Chain A
Amino acid sequence: MQTRRETLKHSAAVASLLAATGLFPQYVQAFEKAAFDAKTINEAVKAMGGSAPVESKEVTITGPDIAENGAVVPFGASTSLPNVKRVLLLVEKNPSALVAMFNVSPDVEVNFATRSKMGQSSDVYAVAITNDGKAFFAKKEVKVTLGGCGG
């Protein structure tokens, strides 16, 4: 894990150098493509530098029990755990599980809300990754209904 994180850090530094030259717009961000392409929760967490996640009461995911529409499903992810580096929001049954990743800094509370698309009813995960690469999660089942006249 350590090696991988080092690698990531390194590539991020390279990317920002490249970005500074302005010649390589595709390197403007160190976008974690592998994590966003991952099909499963574990793969995505691993690509973000976390070990296999374990459940924790100190991680919270908020969201609706039923979503009237899968195009917009509101979620909140927070944790009271110390030394958290990243917070991930994932929808298990989406084509790619990872929805969003937040890098935590000492200047913000570890509490983020955004809205996700959901292709179908699924479990939704909030995962907190600590500075030492441990990953903790909370999950919630969300049913997606077919709304409207269906036409």
Chain B
Amino acid sequence: MKKIAIALGLIGLSAFAFAEKSSTDSIAEYRQMLQDGNPADLFEAKGEGLWTQKRGPKNAALEKCDLGKGPGVVKGAWVELPRYFADTGRVQDLESRLLTCMQELQGFSAEEIAKTPFGKDEQNNVTALATWVAAESKGMKFNLSQSHIEERKMYEVGKRLFFMRGGSHDFACATCHAQDDKRIRLQDLPNLTKNPGAGNGFGAWPAYRVSNGQMWGAQLRLNDCYRQQRFPYPLFGSEVTIALGVYMGVNGKGGETVAPAIKR
């Protein structure tokens, strides 16, 4: 080893080349290298299989699930969610809507799945399904409806939640995500109050997290935001998470979805 170290003293020169490049450029280069071969593909494939597979107490597939564009229509559904659903009488995001379908069509208990910790059992399947559904809209532009009064109310609630300061550190979503061109440590922070931040930021989830090798849907993304904000635990599919989805999704109107993305 020593020998190599000595022989390599020469290579110290190349360190100069590195110094020329800013760390931001280097990080961008690193991210670029990961784009080709996003492990999210593995979850997308799994989700595609789950959609047509007969499962649950009713031994049925999800092929007739209505994600907002009619039974079985998947393409384009993701860029219009969350939206109001007349059959449940509430505004739902992708994951809470998948729970409705799993309950109605397959006979699973939506309540049980919502209570299951992330990364376990049926929660894993919900994440895989969400990954596939989102991927089916890849490259499409966000276009959330604000025509129903409940959708408009949820936007207003989401806006209030976004700026709500609380927890031990007085953090709001807005503390980190209401300005342009800021970063936390080395990570760029999207400004989620407008485009391109809202479209790129909100529109990137589900995403594969390289730091822990996990696939995260928007629900888990928001859950961990609240954890880092030092807030209590937001329930899966709860109104706060959906209202924030409406707020960010509407702000991202016209932005192109890149989900499923690959993230730190």
Contact = CB atoms under 8 A, between A and B. Distances in A.
A–B touch (CB < 8 A): the answer is: yes
Given A68-B264, A145-B186, A147-B186, A54 B210 contact: no
Nearest to A40: B1
The CB with the most chain B CB atoms within 10 A, among A53, A54, A65, is that of A65
A147 B4 contact: no
A108 interface: no
Contacts of B29: 64-65
B115 interface: no
A141 B30 contact: no
B211 A41 contact: no
Contact of A148 (B1, B14, B18, B211): B211
A65 B211 contact: no
A85 interface: no
Interface stretch (A1-9, A13-21, A69-77): A69-77
B11 A147 contact: no
A67 interface: yes
Contacts of A137: 4
A66 interface: yes
Interface string A113-151: 001000000010000000000000101110001111111
B18 A65 contact: yes
A66 B228 contact: no
B120 interface: no
The main secondary structure of chain A at its interface with chain B is loop
B8 A66 contact: no
A74 B21 contact: no
Contacts of A64: 26, 29-30, 33
Given A66-B26, A66-B27, A148-B187, A72 B34 contact: yes
B185 A148 contact: yes
Nearest to B18: A65
Contacts of A81: none
Contacts of A37: none
Interface string A45-83: 000000011110000000111111101101000000000
Interface string B11-22: 100110010010
Contact of B34 (A53, A74, A141): A74
A147 B26 CA distance: 14
A53 B30 contact: no
- Please provide the 3 A-B residue pairs with the shortest distance between their CB atoms, ordered closest to farther: A64-B30, A72-B210, A66-B26
Given A64-B29, A64-B30, A141-B15, 4 more contacts: A42-B3, A69-B264, A72-B210, A139-B8
Interface of B: 1, 3-4, 7-8, 11, 14-15, 18, 21, 23, 26-27, 29-31, 33-34, 184-187, 210-213, 227-228, 264
Interface of A: 40-42, 52-55, 63-69, 71-72, 74, 115, 123, 137, 139-141, 145-151
15 contacts: A41-B1, A55-B11, A66-B27, A67-B30, A68-B187, A68-B210, A68-B264, A69-B264, A72-B210, A74-B34, A145-B185, A148-B184, A148-B187, A151-B227, A151-B228
